[in-house]
A = this chain, B = another copy of it.
């Protein structure tokens, strides 16, 4: 029993060390990296498309797409104008720092400003694995329901900003915004909250302001 725990801790240590190396490498290249996490279908890829569109070529952006199968998301990111790298995890339920390292090897980091890492769709496992990104952003969505902060506390606790996507569906589904925000506030006091709709475009400018503020000296 103790042996098993020791092994797991050693794996996490190794992951964290490599995450730190990834972060240093990104810093040296002047690239700001954002780790986007979400439940399947919350809208990570749509947000990336909207973001690339809003940037209108002002920044040099790459997208690393984590998926257990297919390259559908990477194709969408590439079509929207980013350099895209696909990581197929082969069934693995999250990205780790070693996968990110391998993906970074395939990118001309010195020629980039922003790196968006689209993690595997999963509200549990990715929260336990540091990658080496500067910011962790959770994309929640209205149809998932207002109880998700209470049910997936690890994910809500570990992020630097929270997007609530699909607010255009608020009239059609039961969702108590106060209850949702109370859950978030207990877990992650003062967390940046960005409600928006990738479908209608509503609220996107707040997200873009948040993002630009984290890219010092670029595009401002």
Assembly of this chain: how many copies? 2
Q: Is the interface of A mostly helix, strand, loop or mixed?
A: loop
Contacts A39-B39, A173-B169, A199-B173; A91 near B143 (Cβ below 8 A): no
Report A31 CB to chain B, min CB distance, Å.
27
Q: How many residues of A contact B (CB 8 A)?
A: 36
Interface string of A90-131 (1 = CB under 8 A from B): 010100000000000000000000000000111111001000
Is the Cβ of A121 less than 8 Å from the Cβ of B169?
no
B124 touching A123 by the CB < 8 A rule? no
A16 within 8 A of B: no
By a beta-carbon cutoff of 8 Å, the part of chain A in contact with chain B is 39-41, 67-70, 72-73, 91, 93, 120-125, 128, 141, 143-145, 147-148, 150-154, 166, 168-169, 172-174, 199
